[in-house]
Amino acid sequence: MNIADAAHKTVHAYPGGSETLALRIGMSAAVLRNKVNPNNTTHHLTLAEASEVMGVTGDDSILHALASQHGYTLSRTEIPESGSLIGSLLAASGAKGHLAEVIAEAMKDHRITPNEAAAIAHHCTTLQAIFAQLSQHASAAAARDMP
């Protein structure tokens, strides 16, 4: 997903849409809609506004789209507040299996379409996030066991 589409989706997926979100970030709903309209060439979301939108919505799609555009993937660095090491391991195993299924389905015709490549990339990104969480749980467990 590109940055403009991610911003548009983030704003419009928020409960109450742009009307409610605009109130929370101190902006008029019309201006916010214009700033996230991918077809608008006169209004643009600033980095500070994008950060505020992500903070209020809890949706980091804009950040991930920006990273992806430049060839990066992101993962959280803080220790998860919930879940467990075993839970993360099981989630990783399940995600690996799902990725294998997506690849197997894509390869049935011995070619990968752009949509199939995007689906594979999405599942790889999900798996990377789960592996990062698994690592964070291991670090948290090690910290708890240290005197």
Same domain for 64 and 16: yes
Reported as type and span, the H/E element at residue 91 is helix 85-106
CB 11 within 8 A of CB 54: no
Instruction: With H, G, I as helix, E, B as strand and everything else as coil, classify residue 107.
Output: helix
Examine the domain organization and report whether 108 and 138 are in the same domain: yes
Question: Is the pLDDT at 12 greater than 70, yes or no?
Answer: yes
Total structural domains in the chain?
Answer: 2
Whether 94 shows a pLDDT value over 90: the answer reads yes
pLDDT of residue 78: 65
Residue 41's CB is within 10 A of a number of other CB atoms, namely 7
**In this structure, are 103 and 55 located in the same domain?**
no
Q: For residue 79, name the pLDDT band (cuts at 50, 70, 90).
A: low
> What three-state secondary structure class fits 146?
coil
CB 68 within 8 A of CB 128: no
Looking at every residue in the chain, the average pLDDT score rounds to 90
Burial class from Cβ neighbours inside 10 Å (0-12, 13-18, 19+) for residue 111 reads exposed
In a domain, 74, yes or no: no
| Domain boundaries, position 104 | 85-145
Number of Cβ within 10 Å of residue 12's Cβ equals 12
Instruction: State how far Cα 113 lies from the chain centre.
Output: 23
Please give the average per-residue pLDDT across 53-76, as a whole number. 89
106-115 pLDDT tens trace: 999 999 999 9
pLDDT for 144 = 80
Ramachandran area for residue 58 (φ above 0: left; ψ -120 to 50: alpha; else beta):
left
Angle of the 47-57 helix axis to the 61-69 helix axis, nearest 10: 130
Examine the domain organization and report whether 60 and 89 are in the same domain: no
Assess whether pLDDT exceeds 80 at residue 4. Answer: yes
Instruction: Tell me 73's DSSP state.
Output: -
Reported pTM: 0.62
Q: Is 105 within a domain?
A: yes
Look up residue 75 and give its DSSP letter.
-
